[in-house]
Structure 1
Amino acid sequence: MADEANRTAFVEIQGRMIETTGKLKQVQTQIRNKETEKKRAYLTMEELKQLSDDTNTYKAIGRTFVLEPKAVLMNEQEQKFKDGETAIASLQTSKEYLEKHLAEVENNLRELLQQDPGLARQIMTMSVA
């Protein structure tokens, strides 16, 4: 009976670990994407700063380019940059939470396996076979 309860607990903890790891990878990917967007906005702002105010500037909308004043493009890029910083800060908080949760789940798994060495042996034979 206790053996079955330990096995059920192991499967549950393993499922939480897999779920948390997946969410952590997803958040890391989102952080990388936001950092790329933020860098692109920064580089675009730097290039726009070098242009005189009367230069014709164009905004890409799909396959079409629309004439826009330089100030409008600068404001859009600054907003993208700020939004990227905000999103990255939020995602970093989520990442830290998920990392703590993953460590907690790993500790629970470790404790379970230390409590029931027979379960640990069964798991080792299952993964080898």
Structure 2
Amino acid sequence: MSISEEALGKIVHDLQSKLQEATRMVASVQAQIQTREREKRLSELTNKELSALKSDTVTYKSVGKMFIQEPLKDLTGELSSRVKGIDEDLTALDKKRIYWERNQKEAQGNLQELIRQITMAQGA
């Protein structure tokens, strides 16, 4: 190989940085997905429990440290719209996850290919 060791070290360092960033971002997005899925399950469960109540039942919504009386219909509507919003967020997060996983695989493949070429050049 005709590339100097200094340039080669810089290339390896850049590839390692890209791989680390992609790995960190994949983990971050997966954590966000888990959080949003948990919020969705809680909202769906709460909505299911509320749907079992009579329509004239007095219900309250938690706001900070206090509770405000809210009609059952409004409460279930709010939970349903929250679930729809979470579904949209999950779709966007899944696209981000796929993007960062692709970047991670690409950086890992490039790094492995570079290492393979270096070992072949040193063996020759």
Q: Same fold (TM over 0.5)?
A: yes
Aligned to 2:97: 95
Counting matched residue pairs gives 120
Gaps of 5+ in 2: none
Aligned equivalents of 1:47 and 1:97: distance in 2? 37
Instruction: Return the match for 1:53 from 49, 52, 55.
Output: 55
1:73-109: per-residue Cα shift (whole Å, max 9, x none)?
A: 0011001111111111110111011111110000110
Over the matched positions of the two proteins, sequence identity in percent amounts to 32
Aligned to 2:115: 113
| TM-score normalised by structure 1 residue count | 0.88
Instruction: Return the match for 1:10 from 9, 12, 18.
Output: 12
1:36-65: per-residue Cα shift (whole Å, max 9, x none)?
A: 010011001100100001000000001100
Shift of 1:115: 1.3
Q: Which runs of 4+ in 1 moved over 3 A?
A: none
Alignment of 1:5-84 (within 5 A): 5-84=7-86
Shift of 1:6: 1.0
Taking only aligned residues, the RMSD between alpha carbons, in angstroms, comes to 1.6
Aligned to 1:85: 87
Shift of 1:20: 0.8
Gaps of 5+ in 1: 121-129
